[in-house]
Amino acid sequence: MPLSKFQSLITRRGWLAAVALSAVLGACAPMATAPGADPLPSWNEGVNKQRIVEFVRAVSTEGGKDFVPAAERIAVFDNDGTLWLEYPLYTQVRFVFDRVRELAPQHPEWKDKEPYKSVIAGDIKGAMASGSQGLFELVLAAQSGTTPAEFEATVRQWIQASKDPRFKRPYTELSYQPMQELLRYLRANGFKTYIVSGGTVDFMRAFAEPVYGIPSEQVIGTRQKFVFELKDGQPLVKMLPALEFNDDKEGKPIAIAQIIGKRPIAAFGNSDGDFQMLQWTTAGAGRRLGMIVHHDDAVREYAYDRDSSIGKLADGLDQYQARGWGLISMKNDWKLIFAPAK
Amino acid sequence: MPLSKFQSLITRRGWLAAVALSAVLGACAPMATAPGADPLPSWNEGVNKQRIVEFVRAVSTEGGKDFVPAAERIAVFDNDGTLWLEYPLYTQVRFVFDRVRELAPQHPEWKDKEPYKSVIAGDIKGAMASGSQGLFELVLAAQSGTTPAEFEATVRQWIQASKDPRFKRPYTELSYQPMQELLRYLRANGFKTYIVSGGTVDFMRAFAEPVYGIPSEQVIGTRQKFVFELKDGQPLVKMLPALEFNDDKEGKPIAIAQIIGKRPIAAFGNSDGDFQMLQWTTAGAGRRLGMIVHHDDAVREYAYDRDSSIGKLADGLDQYQARGWGLISMKNDWKLIFAPAK
């Protein structure tokens, strides 16, 4: 995504124009599909690529024994660490830390109170020591009091002004190119692609369409409570500093059942937070696909799994074979990690 | 919907086949659109039909000042009383009463306990006297302990075996033909049509696709809590007898903001439970459409509004003009209410 080209387009409609453009480019470029052309050019040949291609062919071939009607071709993707970079700090956490620092002058009470104090001091380690409870507190403090539309505009402004410290590129350019190809390949074969992530839904909606071609209604995530209010006679929906639903672990299949109302036939994740989603998806009748992105490429990205506090993958490593899931090696399966900078 | 023809198709896949067929029939029959053909043949000419047609033309004409990109053409519809019959008893309540009677032998404790006692005795008035609290209790008792898929199958079996006592037709044939045409007309013009109803979402998903051509992921409703469990090693999502979210009044704009993540540009309702949804939809920037179906046809359907306990419409009647909403007269605007029996 050459997001930098669209610096001036920070309204949603502007972004949608950008999306439309990128969708056209996206559709034309890697899909410039002469019949028989490779739909996954950034994937090395091997069992994992083969598994994907055979699955897609099986479920979309009418008359075949594994055929699935298009309306039921639902594929779900975790976001952080599955579709884009999550290490060593989730992008949303980076946003929240910046936002807390920005809002600090209006909250003198934060100065002496953890985890705010560490965030304001730029002490990431100290802030992370507050654990997931502390992190939720920061997220809710940083993401409430406005309408979702106003909040999305704030996220877009931040994301356009920010770069990853190691790769020196905007976060929106740090999605995984092989997964981008996979999203497009699935959609070209009648799939509806969903994000199902532990990140909060309004944060992801600020970039899901331009970055992944996934519209807001196909983004499922952790939800804050909202309230309906009249302000000077104008009705508005406002984000509250209260957690409504944690879309992680068991939360993922639950949210899918509640919001999509169908069991997916394909699921992609990278951490044990995705375990139940893969488990539920692949336990359904008929042909199913479950795959885990394994971060084993310390040179081009990062190598982490069992002992990591970000993206911990232990149950998945122990059980993927017995469960018939694929383990994607970023090092061996992917020709490149990110699209080259333009 | 000639649902009776599909009596044997009670699995979801079977229903989807029925859907596909009915969608084809639906697309061919009333849309057999010679250019210039009337897309709303069951609507009488008049301000309301004109309002709809002009709105659709305005937002879908590229280059026009009111143009809205297709991705933002979201239309939301209440279900009971807006898309199908709700009077004198919501169809879901009829289902719940039947289900409670069916489950009663397994629940001897219900025999002496209201509102169960009245339901078991067939005393509808007595059961309704328990109010919305009692009704929720019955809904939760009748709709828990199974997976959503099992529950949907139960609803489909019931709905295929049941008829409305006055019209002597299956409930699935008692959707409003003019609204069916409106749904198809909007979709033919790039709209995504959603149901946003106070009914519980899993109940509606059992018939929304075959009856309205609306897939499960475009059905928003009142939600029960779900739990994720392993049963004999098999992962499953189960419906709990606990309310998670009441999708009525303020709940409607909140659920739309949380699940769709976009403000609709058109909203259709019939009772004051839809007021906030219409209010929020039509307060957005750009061209908007808000319309209320007014039940004023005692001969062909029913006449009820201000004083009704089902589908009470008072605020809407008082304010629709000031707010620029349309008030659809079933009596005057609609040539027919239901599609003729086949």
In this predicted model, what pLDDT tens digit does every residue of B268-282 receive, in sequence order?
Answer: 999 999 999 999 999
Average pLDDT over residues B30-48: 81
pLDDT at B20 over 50: no
Q: What is the mean pLDDT of chain B?
A: 91
Q: Is the CB of residue B264 less than 8 Å from the CB of residue B289?
A: no
Residue B197 phi, psi dihedral angles, 5° rounding: -135, 155
- 8 A C-beta contact, residue A6 and residue A159: no
Return the pLDDT at A249: 98
Question: In Å, how far are A327, B99, B319 from B146, measured between CA atoms?
Answer: 33, 13, 43
Q: How far apart are CA A175 and CA B247, in angstroms?
A: 36
Query: Which of B13, B228, B231 should one mutate to test binding to chain A, selecting the residue with the greatest count of A CBs within 10 A?
Result: B228
pLDDT for A136 equals 92
**A15 pLDDT exceeds 60?**
no
B253–A contact, CB cutoff 8 A? yes
State pLDDT tens for residues B324-340. Answer: 999 999 999 999 999 99
Identify the three-state secondary structure at position A1. Answer: coil
Region B255-267 average pLDDT? 98
A124-133, A261-270, A272-281: range with lowest mean pLDDT: A124-133
Interchain proximity B254–A228, CB inside 8 Å: yes
Confidence band of B342 (pLDDT split at 50, 70, 90): confident
Cβ contacts of A217 on chain B, cutoff 8 Å: 192, 217, 259-262
Half-sphere exposure of B53 (CA within 13 A, CB side): 14
CA distance B260 to B265: 12
% chain B with pLDDT above 90? 87
- Residue A9: pLDDT above 80? no
Q: What is the mean pLDDT of chain A?
A: 91
What's the CA gap between B55 and B57, in Å, rounded?
Answer: 5
Nearest to A220 by CA among A192, A178, A242: A192
CA distance A221 to A204: 8
**pLDDT of the residue at A29:** 37
Cα–Cα distance, A196 to B16 (Å, whole number): 25
What are phi and psi for residue B323, nearest 5 degrees?
A: -90, 0
Helix (H, G, I), strand (E, B) or coil at A289: strand
Residue B304 pLDDT > 90, yes or no?
yes
Cβ atoms of residues A192 and B218 within 8 Å:
no
Q: A11 pLDDT exceeds 80?
A: no
The answer to whether residue A171 scores a pLDDT higher than 50 is: yes
pLDDT at residue A279, rounded to an integer: 98
pLDDT value at residue A342 = 79
What pLDDT score does A34 carry?
63
Contacts of A239 in chain B (CB under 8 A): none
DSSP percent split of chain B into helix, strand, coil, nearest 5:
45, 20, 40
What's residue A36's pLDDT? 77
In this prediction, residues A75-100 reach a mean pLDDT of 97
Q: Distance from A82 to chain B by nearest Cα, in Å?
A: 22
> What is the value of pTM for the model shown?
0.91
Contact of B160 with chain A, judged by CB distance below 8 Å, is answered with no
Which residues 189-228 on chain B approach chain A with CB closer than 8 angstroms? 192, 201-202, 205, 209, 215-217, 219, 223, 226-228
Note the pLDDT tens digit of each residue in B187-234. Answer: 999 999 999 999 999 999 999 999 999 999 999 999 999 999 999 999
- Tell me what the mean pLDDT of segment A38-52 comes to: 98
Question: How far is A310 from chain B, CA to nearest CA, in Å?
Answer: 24
What is the predicted pLDDT for the residue at B205?
98
Above 50 in pLDDT, residue B31?
A: no
ipTM of the complex: 0.91
- State the CB neighbour count (10 A cutoff) for residue B198: 21
Confidence at residue B36, expressed as pLDDT on a 0 to 100 scale? 77
Residue B222 in 3-state DSSP?
A: strand
**pLDDT > 90? residue B18:** no
Residue B164 DSSP code: -
The torsion angles phi and psi of B203, rounded to 5 degrees, stand at -65, -50
pLDDT score for B32 = 43
Evaluate if residue A33 carries a pLDDT over 90.
no
pLDDT at res. A177: 98
The answer for residues whose C-beta is within 8 angstroms of residue B172's C-beta and 6 or more apart is: B1, B3, B159, B207, B210, B211
| Count of residues in chain B | 342
- Percent of chain A scored above 70 by pLDDT? 90
Q: What is the pLDDT of residues B134-176, one digit of tens each?
A: 999 999 999 999 999 999 999 999 999 999 999 999 999 999 9
Chain B residues within 8 A of A253 when measuring between CB atoms: 228, 235, 237
Residue with tokens 């898309």: B83
> Which pLDDT score, from 0 to 100, does residue B35 have?
66
**Cβ <8 Å between A258 and B223:** yes
Question: What is residue A7's predicted lDDT score, i.e. its pLDDT?
Answer: 37
